A and B are shown apart, each in its own frame.
Chain A
Amino acid sequence: MRLDFHKNHRLLYGVALFGYVALTLLIAVGPALWVDAHNAPLPGSSPLTPEQLAGLKVYVDEGCLYCHTQQVRPLPQDQPFGRPSVPGDYARLRWLDAWQAPAMILGTERTGPDLSNVAERQPSEVWQYMHLYQPRSVAPASVMPAFPWLFRVEANPAPDAVVVPVPPPWAPAAGRVVATARARALVAYLLSLKQTPLPGGAGMAEAGAGAAGAPAGGASPGGGAGAAAPAANGAAVYGSICASCHQAAGQGLKGVFPPLAGDPVVNAPDPTEQIHTVLFGLQGKVIGGAHYAAVMPPWGTQLSDDEIAAVIDHERTSWGNHGPTITAAQVAALRKAEAPAGGGGGGGGGGRP
């Protein structure tokens, strides 16, 4: 046997095949096994419930992951989506069933926003259902597909049915829109997408994005010392968190999400009610004769005093509103006043004899 690739087909194809197998072991198989062996779910995270897991299957089968990533990069532009993703975020991914491999939730394209932390950003169940039934009913510029086949139209929904308040141009001619089990599973999955805090705080954002000199968006609730003008960008906070329901120009959605433009609370000289609403949430209020059933989530756990002051100032000075602006200190004061008894006693160092 000659050692000549040109003339010895066994040698040529043997080297091509086994050389490639060796390279595959080196760059794919070895690292894949190593990564999985040295990975573990984050402390404090919990596995998906059976319903959430069913929702993940819907997420895969309907191809959500072709347009939505679940992969926050350590880059400044990814900060609105949460902290940078870490291996532990994916440690629980396993085969969906005997036929389907684990969901490739990291994704490769971002036609829509990243969903790693969507439940923190858009926790409203009502909004999620409306958005799935017809994305353009809550986000007019969206190009996301509508998923009406995850819903049923019923004339007389059962009392325990999840009825979706679809606004007029998109509502069916007769009957009411009810979420099917698949829609409920998908929303349960989406609302499970909350990033588990990293042990020891969010160190990685600074480490990874240091070079770019990004604005430090470290949210430390209640920790703001800020007495001066808020450093946070109110328009940016509004855009990433509030606008999905209250809409870009503060006009709200008739009968579902109240408008902020021209709202008496937003224009009131006393900001207490507005700060309270942002900090602790609201439900079931009657505004301008309309009853709003959808839940306004409490943002106090996610946004710093600085950010809350900035976003309230943005709302009070935009879309024709003329409410007086506020400071982070006012937010801090209200947060402290309403805090559960004994909550901040130990470490705060506030109480002086």
Chain B
Amino acid sequence: MFTERPLTVQKTRIDELIDADRSLTRLVYAYVATGTVWLVFGTLVGEYLGLKFVWPDLGVEPWLSFGRLRPVHTNVVLWGWSSLGMVGLALWVVPRTCQRALHSVRLAWVALALINAAVLAGVVCLASGVNNGGGEYREFIWPVMGTFALALVLLAYDLYRTIAARATEEIYISNWYILGAFLWTIVLVTTGYLPWLQKGLGNTVIQGYYMHTGVGMWFTPMVLGLTYYFLPKLLNKPIYSYSLGVLAFWTQMVFYTMIGAHHFIFSPIPWWIQTVAIVFSVGMLVPVVAGTGNFLLTMRGSGSTIARSYSLPFILAGVIFYFFVSTQGTFEAFRSLNRVWHFTNFTVAHSHLAVYGFVVFLVWGGIYALLPRITGREPPQLAVGAHFWLALVGVLTYGFALMIGGTLQGESWLHQAPFIDSVSLMAPYWTGRAVGGTLMFLAHLIFAWNVWTMRPAAAPEPAPLPAAARAEAA
């Protein structure tokens, strides 16, 4: 007899419905849902910007122009989508690992409103042509970024009080990273906006520090902290080495802070700052290898569990991207390679592989792990699979198109060809980027639908799982 071969591996349904506080469930969902709105909006803008490289005269309006929308795209996906997604998950992980209720749910709602207000105001400012000097990720003018920073202060206080009141003796490693990220980000945003530091060439020194630690001391530690919770939880086994996590924490803090100037190699900022940045870029291999090694060794031998999970494939992909993109960053800092790749589209590939491949995949892993367990509603299996593969193939297409194109761009400059050659030769690679970007955007539409399907039930009691599903879970 012909037996039908299934298209997909049957995913394991959730086997436990966490008896979460409904107010916390609604809070977490509100962070994820508003973040998802920013994801769809921000990547729609990104998709449109990518098409402009293929058709430069597509939409000639001031508020549709590349120069105004580029910062809209980057700031929305960073401060809107990624930040809200991470904070939403953290608001659940921290109380859970402390075995205490969140100190104040109301404070977290206020912070949510402030972040959304800041991102919305920032978008309006940038689209109408008000840009805070054009330093990357620092384009929101100070009243707007001040609103965002205020939300971080409220959240840091809320989480600190929760951790201080913990029922466990030890502070779980996730909370090292998560609250550390809040404290570091408050410092770096303050440093990036203090008026008497931003002048002359000194502003460029600050910009290197700001743009780099903005990624490295906010997004990186947040998602690492979340993964230190979700990965062992989903695999139902302890993390491979707690000590490696601690080592990576301290080395992350010391090494990552020192390397911002590697965005300004060969620039007129002091040569010693550039050299320090290069040396510590190599040093970054320590926390990266410690972190990825720890996660991969935890996953070792659990291949079938990963294949049968909704969320673990996202986490696995995110961890591999973390290793790849961090190592790539170290290489980009070397003067010998920097002279080829700096100023080219290679950097654009790198930043997308980092923020998207690494940070966003880990955020998605956390969302698919958590939401069904606290709302009792699972997304359709096919839709999660489509989301995963479209996003993965999309970002790889995007990344490799621009890595190849960027290298050719750098080679063209090295050979001192006329500048316009480096524009013309990019045409196929910009088309490749647009194709990859389209796949990514489609993935986000599906993700948004999945978030909707995982919404908390309106009824006071979350819908219980069918008994059949529970039996299947073994």
Given A61-B129, A148-B60, A111 and B423 contact (CB-CB distance below 8 Å): yes
Q: Across the interface, which residues of A come within 8 angstroms of B141, CB to CB?
A: 99-100
B133 touches A20 (CB 8 A): no
Query: Any chain A CB within 8 A of the CB of B174?
Result: no
Q: Any chain A CB within 8 A of the CB of B104?
A: no
User: When the two chains form the complex, which single residue of B136, B273, B419 contacts A113, counting CB atoms closer than 8 Å?
Assistant: B419
Inside 8 A of B195's CB, which chain A residues have their CB?
A: 95, 101
Chain A residue with the shortest CB-CB distance to B273? A31
Q: CB-CB < 8 A to B276: which residues of A?
A: 27
Q: Which residue of the partner chain B has the closest CB to A92? A: B200
Residues of A within 8 A of B348 (CB): 109
| A63–B70 CB distance below 8 A | yes
CB neighbours of B188 from chain A (8 A):
24
Q: Is the CB of B133 within 8 A of A96?
A: yes
Question: By the criterion CB–CB under 8 Å, are A108 and B183 in contact?
Answer: no
Task: Say how far B402's CB is from chain A's closest CB, in angstroms.
Answer: 12
Contact call A23/B344, Cβ cutoff below 8 A:
no
Query: What per-residue 1/0 map shows which CB atoms of B34-64 lie under 8 Å from chain A?
Result: 0000000000000000001100110011100
A9 located at the interface, meaning its Cβ lies under 8 Å from any Cβ of chain B in the complex: yes
Which of the segments B6-14, B201-209, B371-379 contacts the partner chain? B201-209
The yes or no answer to A172 lying at the interface (CB within 8 A) is no
In whole angstroms, what is the CA distance A74 to B269 when docked?
Answer: 13
Chain B interface category by residue count: 35 or more
Q: Which of the residues A19, A63, A74, A104 comes within 8 Å of B203, measured between beta carbons? A: A104
Contact B268 A33 (CB under 8 A): no
Q: Give Cα A111 to B258, complex, Å.
A: 28
Number of A-B contacts (CB under 8 A): 254
- Given A13-B183, A146-B57, are A75 and B266 also a contact pair (CB < 8 Å)? yes
Give A141 to B419 CA distance when docked, in angstroms: 11
In the complex, the answer to whether B187 meets A24 with C-beta atoms within 8 Å is yes
Select one of B134, B169, B268, B424 contacting A86, CB under 8 A: B268
Residue B413 lies at the interface, judged by CB distance under 8 Å to chain A: yes
- Contact between B204 and A27, CB atoms less than 8 A apart: no
Cβ of B305 under 8 Å from chain A? no
Contacts of A106 in B (CB 8 A): 204, 264, 267
Please provide the chain A residues from 1 to 39 with a CB less than 8 Å away from any CB of chain B in the complex: 5-7, 9, 12-13, 16-17, 19-21, 23-24, 27-29, 31-36, 39
CA A9 – CA B160 in complex, angstroms?
Answer: 9
Interface residues of A (CB under 8 A from B): 5-7, 9, 12-13, 16-17, 19-21, 23-24, 27-29, 31-36, 39, 60-67, 69, 71, 73-77, 79-80, 84-87, 89-96, 99-113, 135-136, 139, 141-149, 236, 239-240, 243, 248
Q: Which residues of B contact A (CB under 8 A)?
A: 52-53, 56-57, 60-62, 65-68, 70-71, 129-136, 138, 141-143, 160, 163-164, 166, 169-171, 176, 179-180, 183-184, 187-188, 191, 193, 195, 197-207, 209-210, 217, 246, 253-254, 257-258, 260-261, 263-264, 266-270, 273, 276, 339, 342-345, 347-348, 413-414, 416, 418-420, 423-424, 430
15 further interface pairs, Cβ-Cβ under 8 Å (given A35-B202, A36-B202): A7-B169, A13-B179, A36-B200, A61-B131, A67-B67, A75-B266, A76-B414, A101-B142, A102-B200, A103-B134, A105-B134, A106-B267, A109-B344, A111-B345, A113-B419
17 of the cross-chain contacts (CB-CB < 8 Å) are A9-B164, A27-B258, A31-B205, A31-B269, A32-B205, A35-B270, A61-B68, A62-B67, A66-B134, A71-B267, A75-B339, A95-B198, A101-B133, A101-B138, A102-B133, A104-B207, A143-B423
